[in-house]
């Protein structure tokens, strides 16, 4: 009997080229990634897939955001606190020290606000809008609104995609102008490009960055590769 013919493998989708790869080895000490577990990779595979529905994109990106916010809270300072339990025993534990607030970089960063509110009840949230100046091509501040006592708070800065780092660096400059020291800012993002991460950490070496995944690089349109496309479009547009 003739052996069955094995069908040829399906054509592979074209890979992006033109990547200016920057290698971050070792990772700057101020950068913390989520544990790169199979579960996390499966979540990223869903949100990276262009066939994923908007509903699933919302659900699974929210799951990652929740993990990132929890990791961000691990970097807040704590002080010793002793409590008495209902058994009458004494428990020597810890309490968070200091107040926090979130600041979302509009518009995509707004998608991370709910995740922060889920774990920090009635947290204050500020907003900042930065766009490219048409004349200078540099990131320009268009709008900001912060809690009036922001200078005395720890700030969780929220933006899902760290691409070139231009908006995030401008946002940090604005926060510093409002009296927030670099050491009290924690920048949280879902996907980071090595070039943006390197530029950001070089400029602000003491500012902690929490990222879910570090990708390969940026393409010539400043999209992260492999990335997940335009986060705002996928999140907000049906
Ligand atoms: N912003 C996005 O939404 N996606 C990218 O890949 C880069 C910036």
* CATH number, position 211: 3.40.50.2020
Q: How confident is the prediction for the chain on average, in pLDDT?
A: 92
Number of domains in the chain: 1
Q: What's the N-to-C CA distance of the chain in angstroms? A: 54
> Does residue 26 lie in a domain region?
no
pLDDT for res 20: 59
Residues with C-beta less than 6 Å from any ligand 1 atom:
108, 161, 163, 223-224, 227, 230-232
Q: What are phi and psi of 165, to 5 degrees?
A: 90, -5
> Does residue 52 lie in a domain region?
yes
pLDDT band at 84 (very low <50, low <70, confident <90, very high): very high
Give residue 195's domain range: 31-236
* Section 182-199 average pLDDT: 97
Q: How far out from the chain centre does Cα 46 lie?
A: 17
Q: How far is the CA of 85 from the centre of ligand 1 (A)?
A: 48
> Does residue 13 lie in a domain region?
no
Task: Report the atom number in ligand 1 closest to the C-alpha of 232.
Answer: 3
Which residue CA neighbors atom 7 of ligand 1 most closely? 223
Q: How far is the CA of 132 from the centre of ligand 1 (A)?
A: 14
> Does residue 102 lie in a domain region?
yes
- Cα 60 from Cα 228, distance rounded (Å): 13
pLDDT band at 188 (very low <50, low <70, confident <90, very high): very high
> Does residue 166 lie in a domain region?
yes
pLDDT for res 8: 72
Task: Report the atom number in ligand 1 closest to the C-alpha of 223.
Answer: 6
Q: How far is the CA of 225 from the centre of ligand 1 (A)?
A: 9
pLDDT for res 193: 97
Q: How far is the CA of 160 from the centre of ligand 1 (A)?
A: 8
DSSP, collapsed to helix, strand or coil, labels residue 172 as helix
Which residue CA neighbors atom 4 of ligand 1 most closely? 230
- Cα 236 from Cα 58, distance rounded (Å): 9
Task: Report the atom number in ligand 1 closest to the C-alpha of 230.
Answer: 3
- Cα 36 from Cα 23, distance rounded (Å): 18
**Range with top average pLDDT, 5-19, 133-147, 199-213:** 199-213
pLDDT for res 50: 97
pLDDT for 16 beyond 50: no
Q: How far is the CA of 229 from the centre of ligand 1 (A)?
A: 6
Q: Give the predicted TM-score (pTM) of the model.
A: 0.89
- Cα 229 from Cα 160, distance rounded (Å): 12
Which residue CA neighbors atom 3 of ligand 1 most closely? 230
> Does residue 9 lie in a domain region?
no
* Section 193-206 average pLDDT: 96
> Does residue 22 lie in a domain region?
no
> Does residue 186 lie in a domain region?
yes
* Section 204-212 average pLDDT: 98
Task: Report the atom number in ligand 1 closest to the C-alpha of 108.
Answer: 3
């Amino acid at each position: 009997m003739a052996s069955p013919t094995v069908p040829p493998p399906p054509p592979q989708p074209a890979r992006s080229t033109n990547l200016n790869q920057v290698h971050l080895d070792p990772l700057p000490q101020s950068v913390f990634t989520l544990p790169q577990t199979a579960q996390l990779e499966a979540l990223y595979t869903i949100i990276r897939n262009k066939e994923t529905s908007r509903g699933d994109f919302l659900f699974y990106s929210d799951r990652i955001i929740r993990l990132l916010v929890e990791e961000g809270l691990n970097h807040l300072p704590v002080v010793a606190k002793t409590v008495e339990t209902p058994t009458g025993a004494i428990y020597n534990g810890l309490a968070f020290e200091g107040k926090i607030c979130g600041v979302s970089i509009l518009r995509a960063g707004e998608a991370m606000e709910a995740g922060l509110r889920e774990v920090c009840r009635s947290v204050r949230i500020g907003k900042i809008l930065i766009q490219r100046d048409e004349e200078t091509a540099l990131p320009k501040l268009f709008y900001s609104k912060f809690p009036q006592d922001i200078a005395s708070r720890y700030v969780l800065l929220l933006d899902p995609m760290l691409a070139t780092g231009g908006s995030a660096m401008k946002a940090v400059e604005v926060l510093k102008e409002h009296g927030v020291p670099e050491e009290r800012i924690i920048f949280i993002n879902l996907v980071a490009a090595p070039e943006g991460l390197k530029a950001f950490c070089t400029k602000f070496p003491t500012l902690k960055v929490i990222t879910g995944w570090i990708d390969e690089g940026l393409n010539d349109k400043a999209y992260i590769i492999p990335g997940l496309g335009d986060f705002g479009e996928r999140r907000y547009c049906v």
